[in-house]
């Protein structure tokens, strides 16, 4: 592997990319504790826990993400992070409130979807029952 000062980082959610860009450092939290990765770090895979993920870009700007559990894969100069839920925050002081608001809204959407699915299932059962009695 060649020596590099940068790495490509991608954070993916189901169906959408949360972040895709160049970084000089990534800080994350696994079940055994927090860790940092630089571009020439050894390749590895680990499971992430719900936490704050920091990405330092080449200009020194830090991108802050609140993430749910996921998977962190470092291979060469590529870092791929897949999480179930995640949101970017403007700063560390507001990340908890941003995450809580986003996850609460997500839970509301999931609850509405589950309710709609239950209604569809009940309607299918009623229609099958009606077909059975009409035969």
Question: Is residue 120 situated within a structural domain?
Answer: yes
Q: Do 117 and 101 form a contact (C-beta atoms < 8 A)?
A: no
Q: Residue 2 domain-assigned? A: no
What's 39's domain CATH number?
Answer: 2.60.15.10
Largest CA distance in the chain: 74
Tally Cβ neighbours within 10 Å of residue 51.
18
At residue 93, the pLDDT reads 67
Is the pLDDT at 106 greater than 70? The verdict is no
| Range(s) of the domain holding residue 67 | 7-134
Q: What percent of the chain has pLDDT over 90?
A: 50
Domain membership of residue 19 (yes or no) is yes
* Cα(127)–Cα(77) distance, integer angstroms: 56
Q: Determine if the pTM surpasses 0.95.
A: no
Residues in contact with 6: Cβ distance below 8 Å, sequence separation at least 6, in sequence order: 22, 23, 24, 39, 58, 77
pLDDT band at 22 (very low <50, low <70, confident <90, very high): very high
Q: Name the pLDDT band for 73 (thresholds 50, 70, 90).
A: very high
């Amino acid at each position: 592997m060649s020596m590099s000062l940068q790495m490509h980082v991608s954070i993916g959610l189901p169906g959408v990319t949360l972040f895709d860009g160049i970084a000089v450092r990534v800080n994350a939290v696994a079940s055994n504790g927090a860790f940092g990765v630089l571009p020439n770090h050894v390749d590895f895979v680990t499971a992430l826990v719900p936490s704050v993920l920091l990405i330092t870009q080449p200009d020194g700007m830090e991108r802050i993400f609140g993430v749910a559990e996921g998977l962190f894969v470092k291979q060469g100069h590529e870092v791929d992070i897949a999480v179930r839920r995640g949101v970017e925050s403007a700063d560390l002081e507001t990340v908890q409130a941003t995450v809580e608001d986003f996850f609460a809204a997500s839970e509301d959407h999931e609850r509405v979807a589950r309710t709609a699915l239950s209604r569809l299932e009940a309607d299918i059962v009623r229609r099958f029952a009606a077909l059975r009695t009409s035969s």
